[in-house]
Amino acid sequence: MMVTTTDGIQDHKVALYLGIVSGEAIMGTNLFKDFFASIRDVVGGRAGAYEKSLREAKVLAIAQMKEEAYNLGAHAVVGVDLDYEVIGGDDKTMLMVSANGTAVKLG
């Protein structure tokens, strides 16, 4: 299934809009990731553990969105928007990725 942030698929006509589809993934972070990320913030560099968690969450959110579109009989999802949020309190931090788009049938 094709997924794009644009409002259409090149060389394909949208025959039917099936509605909004979405997927969410929430990944908990742990004390060790937080500790090492804070050290990286001080000395510089990339926080690889967080980057990996964000990639995993993005893949899961998109997969969930595609599954919802597939269940509607869609050929593609257009107009996809990815949102990233940090949720939780002082001691419980979680990363949330949401993917939203429009499921379509192509003509």
Mean pLDDT of 29-39: 53
Q: Distance (Å, rounded) from C-alpha 94 to C-alpha 75?
A: 33
What are the distances in angstroms from CA 83 to CA 4, 12, 15, 65, 95? 15, 27, 28, 13, 11
5: pLDDT strictly greater than 90: yes
Which of 23-32, 41-50, 58-67 has the weakest average pLDDT? 41-50
Q: What is the pLDDT of residue 32?
A: 46
- Domains of the chain (ranges, CATH numbers): 2-8+16-106 (3.30.110.70)
- Tell the residue number behind the tokens 């050290």, with chain if given: 39
Q: Distance (Å, rounded) from C-alpha 44 to C-alpha 47?
A: 9
